[in-house]
Every structure is written in structure tokens, then in C-alpha cells.
């Protein structure tokens, strides 16, 4: 079995062969969540790592600052702000975009989804990310990259994004499958993702943690047949609409990327995810394993 969209996943050899392409933009979205002094996980952008070493020509994008709407942090940037960001990064409507991070794409996929949501299809993930690039001996650079600004026109695809009310309406529907992309302890309600939020999951949601789609040793995507079995075993049917969510629309975007690779296109992101759902006591939750 092969990926339905193999063009969406590139390896370091492909990227090396295309680095000099003037129509290519490589965007570095290295990011992490690390324990703070109070024990809670704190967002840690990878700018310092980027400045130490990055793929030649790559431009750093701060997942937390650049892609979060300043007035509505639970939502993706408005079309106007997204257009401005892409223009600053040198990404036009005809640009080939390659994204990577340090975690196999689980963070970078947020921008993969955002670009597709705003009508840009020529966007790919670097399989294995920066770690694989270095591991295979490809060159790195530490010089800052300042791309020439350009113009990007957003073309919204509303079918790729859902709101809280749409998720609420989907809970009891037989033709929609909701997928929680968080690690199992958060899904079961054994741990809290955010201190002030409730613990658990959206009723009826299946659990398939985003990192489970990766080979744990190399952080590369599992083969297509292994991914197909993984999603089938999680109880996600191919003939239903799929809604993915996580803590803030990042891991869930990676789940959408995997579904895209498998040819499942009737899928959308609950953008605000548990950041919104877990904070609202009027919304139903469940704990424990799937029923």
C-alpha cells in the first residue's frame, strides 16, 4: 500500500535537490512544551535552536507568536493577518512550501493545515524533520535568512475548520467520527492539560495520539499500511466525516495530515480544541477509555 498523496511528504534527499529553487520556501517550526518552575508545561519556541543551526535558507516561524490570533488566541489568524505573515515570509500563492520541526511534524502540521485552510495546496512536510536532516549529514547554516516579501491571497476553505457548536452537534451523529489526538492520560482524564480546565475528552471521541503515527526511533511517518491499521484499530472509519481536536489545534492538525496521506479528505479541525472545550462547564465531557 502506498500513500494517497506521497507528494505531501518529502525526504532530505528531495529537499537537498530543490534547495536552490527560487520558488521554494523552507519554514522551520521547531517548538516544544517543557516543564516550568511550577511543574506546568510551558511553550518553548525553538528560535535559539534555529539560530544555532538550521537548514540553509530556512526561515523560522514562531508557532505560538506568529500563528496565534493576538485578539483570539484560540483561533487561527484572520485572513488579513495570515496574508501579511505569508507575505513577510516570502510565501506567495504559487510558492512550494516545505515545513519541518524537531518532532516529526507534529508541530509543523499546524501551518500545513493553516495554509490549506487558506487555499494553498503546494505545502509539504519534511519526513523526520530537522533531526533526520542532521542525522543524514546534510549541511546546516546559522546565518539569518531575510526573504524578499511577496503577496499572498487567502482563499478560505470553511469545510476544513469546525467550531464548538458544530462539534456539539456532531456528538450524537452516526456519520461523524471525533478523534482526540492527545496522549492517552489526557484523554482518559487522568491528567490535566491545562491547570484551570476540566480533564477528560469530548463524548464519543476516539483516541489516537498524534505521535503514534511516527516511528519512535526515527520520528518518520509510519508506512501507509501501518497507518491504515493504526487508524482502523482506533475505530476511525473511512466512510465518515472526521473531526480532530487536541489541546490547541496543533497535534490534531498533524492527525489531519496523516488522514490526507491516507486519502481521507472529508476531515476538519476543531481549531480551539480542549483550550475552549475544557474551559466551558456547560459542555459535556467523558473520562476513562472509549466505550
Chain center to CA of 250: 4
Q: Per-residue pLDDT averaged across 264-288, rounded? A: 95
Confidence of residue 193 (pLDDT cuts 50, 70, 90): confident
Q: Can you give the pLDDT at residue 141? A: 95
Nearest one of 284, 250, 283 to 269, comparing CA atoms? 250
> Smallest Cα–Cα separation from 237: which of 269, 264, 203?
264
Q: Which among 15, 18, 28 is positioned nearest to 142, based on CA atoms?
A: 28
- Residue in this structure with the C-alpha cell 469530548, named with its chain if needed: 202
Mean pLDDT of the chain: 93
Task: Read off the pLDDT of residues 132-162 as tens digits, 9 standing for 90 and up.
Answer: 999 999 999 999 899 999 999 999 999 999 9
- pLDDT value at 196 more than 90: no
What would the grid cell of residue 45 be?
A: 519556541
Residue 37: per-residue pLDDT: 61
What mean pLDDT is predicted for residues 67-76?
80
Those residues whose C-beta lies under 8 Å from the C-beta of residue 112, and which sit 6 or more positions away, are 99, 105, 123, 125, 253, 257
CATH number of 159-277: 3.40.250.10
pLDDT number for residue 34: 65
pLDDT in tens, 232-262: 999 999 899 999 999 999 999 999 999 999 9
Mean pLDDT, rounded, for 13-26: 96
Question: Residue 106 and residue 1: Cα distance in Å, rounded?
Answer: 23
CA 221 to chain centre: 14
CATH fold label, 6-156 = Oxidized Rhodanese; domain 1 (3.40.250)
Please report, in angstroms and rounded to a whole number, the separation of the first and last CA atoms in the chain. Answer: 31
Q: Of the ranges 40-54, 257-271, 272-286, which one carries the lowest mean pLDDT score?
A: 40-54
CB 243 within 8 A of CB 175: no
Query: What is the mean pLDDT of the segment spanning 213-233?
Result: 97
Options 59, 246, 256, 259, the catalytic residue: 246
Q: Give the integer Cα–Cα distance in Å for 255 and 30.
A: 18
pLDDT for 74 equals 74
Neighbour tally for 165: CB within 10 Å: 8
Average pLDDT rounded to a whole number, residues 214-218: 95
- The pLDDT assigned to 153 comes to 98
Check residue 71 and give its pLDDT.
76
Give the cell for residue 4.
Answer: 494517497
Q: Cα(268)–Cα(159) distance, rounded to whole angstroms?
A: 7
Nearest C-alpha neighbor of 264 from the set 248, 240, 288: 240
pLDDT digits (tens, 9 = 90+) for 76-101: 999 999 999 999 999 999 999 999 99
Evaluate whether 6-156 and 159-277 have a shared fold. yes
Task: Please give the grid coordinates belonging to residue 219.
Answer: 520520528
For the chain, domain boundaries: 6-156, 159-277
177 is catalytic: no
Rounded Cα gap, residues 35 and 165, in angstroms:
33
Whether the per-residue pLDDT at 32 is higher than 90: the answer is no
Contact 147, 60 (CB under 8 A): no
Per the CB < 8 A criterion, the answer to whether 170 and 267 are in contact is: no
Q: Is the pLDDT of residue 120 over 70?
A: yes
Report the interhelical angle of 109-117 vs 251-261 (nearest 10°).
70
Amino acid at each position: 500500500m502506498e500513500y494517497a498523496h506521497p507528494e505531501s511528504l518529502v525526504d532530505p534527499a528531495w529537499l537537498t535537490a530543490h534547495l536552490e529553487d527560487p520558488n521554494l520556501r523552507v519554514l522551520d517550526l521547531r517548538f516544544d512544551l517543557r516543564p516550568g518552575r511550577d511543574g506546568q508545561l510551558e511553550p518553548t519556541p525553538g528560535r535559539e535552536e534555529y539560530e544555532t543551526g538550521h537548514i540553509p535558507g530556512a526561515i523560522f516561524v514562531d508557532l505560538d507568536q506568529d500563528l496565534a490570533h493576538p485578539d483570539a488566541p484560540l483561533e487561527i489568524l484572520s485572513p488579513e493577518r495570515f496574508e501579511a505573515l505569508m507575505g513577510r515570509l516570502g510565501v506567495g500563492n504559487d510558492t512550494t512550501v516545505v515545513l519541518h520541526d524537531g518532532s516529526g511534524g507534529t508541530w509543523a502540521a499546524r501551518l500545513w493545515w493553516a495554509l490549506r485552510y487558506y487555499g494553498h495546496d503546494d505545502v509539504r512536510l519534511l519526513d523526520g524533520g530537522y533531526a533526520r536532516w542532521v542525522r543524514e549529514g546534510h549541511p546546516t547554516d546559522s546565518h539569518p535568512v531575510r526573504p524578499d516579501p511577496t503577496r499572498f491571497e487567502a482563499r478560505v476553505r470553511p469545510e476544513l475548520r469546525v467550531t464548538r457548536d458544530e462539534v456539539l452537534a456532531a456528538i450524537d451523529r452516526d456519520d461523524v467520527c471525533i478523534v482526540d489526538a492527545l496522549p492517552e492520560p489526557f484523554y482518559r482524564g487522568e491528567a490535566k492539560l491545562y491547570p484551570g480546565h476540566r480533564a477528560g475528552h469530548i463524548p464519543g471521541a476516539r483516541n489516537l495520539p498524534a505521535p503514534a503515527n511516527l516511528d519512535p526511533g526515527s520520528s518518520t511517518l509510519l508506512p501507509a499500511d501501518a497507518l491504515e491499521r493504526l487508524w482502523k484499530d482506533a475505530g476511525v472509519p473511512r466512510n465518515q466525516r472526521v473531526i480532530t481536536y487536541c489541546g490547541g489545534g496543533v497535534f490534531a492538525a498533524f492527525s489531519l495530515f496523516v488522514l490526507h496521506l491516507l486519502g481521507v479528505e472529508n476531515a476538519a479541525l476543531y481549531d480551539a480544541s480542549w483550550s475552549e472545550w475544557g474551559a466551558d462547564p456547560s459542555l459535556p465531557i467523558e473520562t476513562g477509555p472509549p466505550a
